[in-house]
Amino acid sequence: MALRISAAVERWPVAGQFIIARGAKTYVDVLVVAVSDGAHFGLGESTAIYYNGETAESCLAEVEAVLPQLEPMDADGAREAVQHLLPPGAARNALDCALWDLAAKAAGVPLWRYAGLEAAPAPLVTAFTISLGEPDVMEADAAKAAARGFGLLKLKLTGDGDVARVAAVRAGAPDARLIVDANESWGDLDIAAEAAALAGLGVEMIEQPVAAGRDALLADVQACLPLLADESCHSAADVARLAPYYDGVNIKLDKAGGLTEALKIADAAQERGLKVMVGCMLCTSLAVGPAFLVAQRADWVDLDGPALLAEDRPDHFGFDGGTVAPMPSFL
């Protein structure tokens, strides 16, 4: 049966500010795609990968450009076609996830079962992001997050004064597990020495220390902590190239272009013995749903996007006690 597909941009306010090395955000614009076969209805959400030059509006235009090819198809045929019609990125993610949602509903089964999981997804410990700031600000933010029950904190770093920032967070949340995101900022640092200093503060993993495309800088680095590729890893085809330099990959559906490719990345990483992290951009719970399925296989989970917003969708995931748990309708 032919499809009807629509797309729109929605704006959601951030709780306070979300600050990383590239700048601050007080809101996020998300792309929402709705797909119907006349009897069932599927939804998908994505957030533009701004460091790749995407905007919510450019992603909307990408979706609208391929609708004439997709609408004559059924959900599974359209999902297969969109893998070739659009590159990895947020536009394809919103379409892909909406088509997964529609196909699962048409089949009369939960999305997790349609995606091949053997059991219903379980609640997971998620990281909570501590935005980049002065050490005293990050210390206070860490203390607040720990008081809310988050026992795994992800720190945004910048390549300058990072050890002081991590030490401050450790003081603010002495019992928390810590992971850090260097956001490509350590290219001019002694990465092994930086990792050793952070290991002494209880950090357990470092995300994307060098700029995407400069991954070979890690060839001779003997770091005492696992290094994970984020901005460098967009598709399953990237995994073989990155394996010599990294200990794992961070899978984000917006980068991958949807649940279809994210599952392939997880397979490729695990085949090579690499660790897996599943993350997200700033987003609502609509975007977290498909990522939550991939996260069932992850070593680290960073799906706090909705917890960083001032509000979430009415039918939303829970973020109590440091876990991310699905709403009943998801199961």
Q: What's the chain's length in residues?
A: 331
Catalytic residue status for 252: yes
Among residues 25, 144, 154, 156, which one is catalytic? 156
Query: Any known ligand binding at 230?
Result: yes
**Strand residues in 169-266 grouped as ranges (E):** 177-181, 203-207, 227-229, 248-251
Query: Any known ligand binding at 188?
Result: no
CA 215 to chain centre: 20
- Give the three-class secondary structure for 106: helix
Among residues 252, 255, 264, 275, which one is catalytic? 252
What's the one-letter identity of residue 316? H
Tokens coding 205? 């993993």
Residue in the structure block whose two tokens are 């590159």: 87
Distance from C-alpha of 172 to C-alpha of 328, rounded to nearest angstrom: 34
What lies within 8 Å, CB to CB, of 328 at 6+ separation is none
**CA distances in angstroms from 57 to 9, 46, 91, 105, listed in the order given:** 7, 12, 10, 28
**CA distances in angstroms from 23 to 17, 38, 50, 68, listed in the order given:** 10, 43, 11, 37
Catalytic residue status for 144: no
* Binding site as annotated, residues: 181, 207, 230
Catalytic positions are: 156, 252
* Binding site as annotated, residues for Mg(2+): 181, 207, 230
